[in-house]
């Protein structure tokens, strides 16, 4: 299969890139998703909102807030770009062109505020903003004739020259990306896709942890493929843990949006006493890394598995139901009426602040390969992401990737199929589901205990050693058994986990999400 631009992943970054590219009617764009449900992504699950420009807000204020939350590690040029271009894209592209409907009050857009924001600047759709955005973007993608969607296909590896070239003399050429190998999950056959340009928009790595708000597709596929291809990865130690996910035996890891605290929700201990003031003057509205560690400390001290988030004592029931309908209904279905009772919450792996290093246009260290969204690292988030910047970053860099590709793609030639090695099938055996499940349990346990919210040098050393050994076993397993989505995800998961653990071990300095206990 051939195309001009191959985009892997259909969240806000991938869809935005595809839609922006499609304005050039001559371009053939292929958008690939791992799941049969093309909407399954972290974008779809995003509750809180997306930054625009609220009353009294300025670019300078937004830049300052992002830089402050990023704990001194943000790429200022990238932050300036986000603050300059993001609000306009939200208005002109999402709202006006795509028809995204944000919550209104008295005929005007309603703005909310979340932790570490100095002003009200976040647009939202009740508590399911991502769902509204993703559905409108997918609708737009399906309406463009030069965008083809290929669902239910798992990324195996990037196709690169000279590594996959049939001509050994290509070793004298610059290394570049020319496509990808994919497994058709249903037919269990490998499909090679060749392209002039490739965009990785595969999302995050949350599934390598025991607790995560991420969807089950977030197994680090893009990060792992880039790592195997020798693409530069930075800031991988900075994994953000969301402070408040629901703690319940029947529905663990359901996100309780930060906007709940932005609207006045207060974190309390088992005695019903507010505790975050002990850790930061901003209390429950401190940056996520501080709040997550504060909750972790309270849980450790009290020897309990959760704390509470209180809305009921100071927020009217009707406002709770209207402002947070998804959270209210989900909790009520579990027998918890949040208009009367506090919500049991605990931290959970949420967002990968590091990733594939990209420049201001989304270009990676590998020629013709771009990355956008959570799989990438623009430097916007630094050591800790400011709330509601993730959707905006995906929007901005999805657009910037498209602009850069349109400007340079005329000079690119598509490689011929005869120039690239066909896929060789190795494994013949059926994979044992119990082995896959056990290996995943090992990865998740190692990362949660040794590379989680609070880390130690001894723990990080153990994580690297254990994961390196596990990776060897899984690589052999991968080559011995028939290809499947499950074995490919396991291979990606252990690779991504090892990248993160190695980065954490190298960095002895506590900063933001990477907290090393001495």
Q: Are 41 and 17 in contact (CB under 8 A)?
A: no
Pull the structure tokens for residue 134. 């993703």
Q: 262 exposed, middle or buried (CB, 10 Å; 0-12, 13-18, 19+)?
A: buried
Query: E strands along 301-386, which residues?
Result: 307-310, 343-352, 355-357, 369-371, 376-377
Comparing C-alpha atoms, which of 247, 416, 213 is closest to residue 346? 247
- Residue carrying the six token digits 């989680």: 452
DSSP 398-455: HHHHHHHHHHHGGG--PPPGGGBPPP-----BPP-HHHHHHHHHHHHHHHHHHSSSSB
Q: Are 90 and 392 in contact (CB under 8 A)?
A: yes
For residues 19 and 272, give the distance between their C-alpha atoms in angstroms, rounded to a whole number: 49
Q: What's 46's DSSP letter?
A: -
DSSP 336-354: --TTTSPEEEEEEEEEE--
Which are the contacts of 295, defined by CB distance < 8 A and separation ≥ 6?
243, 244, 267, 307, 345, 346, 347
For residues 437 and 440, give the distance between their C-alpha atoms in angstroms, rounded to a whole number: 5
For residues 429 and 149, give the distance between their C-alpha atoms in angstroms, rounded to a whole number: 31
Report, in angstroms and rounded to the nearest whole number, the Rg of the chain calculated over CA atoms: 22
For residues 312 and 324, give the distance between their C-alpha atoms in angstroms, rounded to a whole number: 13
Longest dimension (CA), the chain: 72
Phi–psi pair at 473, nearest 5 degrees: -65, -40
Q: Are 51 and 122 in contact (CB under 8 A)?
A: yes
121 is catalytic: no
Pull the structure tokens for residue 299. 């849980």
Pull the structure tokens for residue 336. 């918890």
Q: Which of 121, 211, 261, 288 is catalytic?
A: 288
Work out the number of other CB atoms within 10 angstroms of the CB of residue 239. 27
Q: Are strands 355-357 and 376-377 parallel, antiparallel or unpaired?
A: parallel
Go through 414-437 and write b for each residue having 16 or more CB atoms within 10 A of its CB, e for each that does not: ebeeeebeebeeeeeeebeeeebe
Q: Which residues are catalytic?
A: 288
């Amino acid at each position: 299969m051939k195309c001009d631009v191959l985009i892997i992943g259909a969240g806000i970054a991938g869809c935005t890139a595809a839609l922006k590219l499609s304005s050039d009617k001559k371009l053939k764009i292929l958008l690939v998703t791992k799941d049969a449900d093309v909407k399954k992504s972290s974008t779809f699950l995003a509750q809180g909102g997306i930054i625009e420009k609220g009353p009294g807000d300025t670019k300078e204020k937004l830049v300052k807030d992002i830089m402050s939350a990023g704990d001194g590690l943000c790429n200022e040029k990238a932050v300036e770009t986000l603050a300059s271009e993001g609000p306009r894209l939200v208005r002109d592209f999402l709202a006006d062109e795509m028809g995204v409907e944000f919550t209104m009050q008295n005929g005007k857009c309603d703005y909310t505020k979340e932790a570490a924001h100095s002003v009200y600047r976040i647009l939202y759709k009740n508590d399911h903003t991502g769902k509204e955005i993703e559905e409108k973007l997918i609708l737009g993608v399906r309406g463009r004739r030069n965008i083809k969607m290929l669902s239910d296909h798992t990324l195996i590896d990037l196709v690169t020259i000279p590594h996959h070239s049939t001509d050994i003399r290509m070793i004298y050429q610059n290394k570049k990306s020319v496509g990808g190998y994919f497994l058709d999950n249903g037919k269990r056959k490998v499909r090679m896709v060749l392209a002039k340009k490739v965009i990785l928009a595969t999302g995050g790595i949350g599934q390598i942890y025991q607790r995560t708000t991420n969807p089950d597709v977030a197994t680090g596929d893009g990060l792992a493929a880039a790592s195997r291809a020798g693409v530069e990865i930075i800031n991988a130690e900075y994994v953000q843990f969301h402070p408040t996910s629901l703690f319940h035996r029947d529905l663990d890891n359901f996100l309780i949006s930060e906007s709940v605290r932005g609207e006045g929700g207060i974190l309390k201990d088992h005695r019903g006493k507010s505790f975050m003031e002990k850790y930061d003057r901003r209390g429950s509205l401190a940056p996520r890394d501080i709040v997550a560690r504060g909750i972790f400390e309270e849980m450790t001290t009290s020897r309990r598995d959760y704390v509470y988030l209180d809305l009921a004592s100071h927020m009217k029931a009707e406002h709770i139901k209207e402002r947070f309908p998804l959270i209210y209904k989900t909790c009520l279905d579990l027998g918890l009426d949040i208009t009367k009772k506090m919500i049991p919450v605990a931290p959970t792996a949420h967002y990968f602040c590091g990733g594939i290093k990209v420049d201001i246009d989304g270009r990676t260290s590998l020629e013709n390969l771009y990355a956008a969204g959570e799989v990438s690292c623009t430097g916007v988030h630094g050591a800790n992401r400011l709330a509601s910047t993730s959707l905006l970053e995906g929007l901005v860099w999805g657009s910037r990737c498209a602009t850069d590709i349109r400007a340079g793609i005329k000079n690119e030639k598509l490689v011929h199929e005869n120039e690239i090695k066909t896929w060789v099938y190795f494994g013949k055996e059926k994979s044992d589901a119990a082995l896959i499940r056990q290996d995943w349990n090992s990865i998740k346990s190692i990362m949660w205990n040794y590379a989680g919210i609070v880390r130690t040098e001894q723990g990080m050393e153990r994580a690297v050693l254990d994961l390196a050994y596990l990776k060897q076993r899984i690589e052999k397993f991968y080559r011995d058994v028939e290809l499947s989505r499950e074995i490919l995800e396991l291979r990606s998961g252990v690779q991504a986990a090892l990248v993160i653990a190695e980065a954490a071990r190298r960095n002895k300095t506590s900063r933001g999400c990477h907290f090393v206990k001495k």
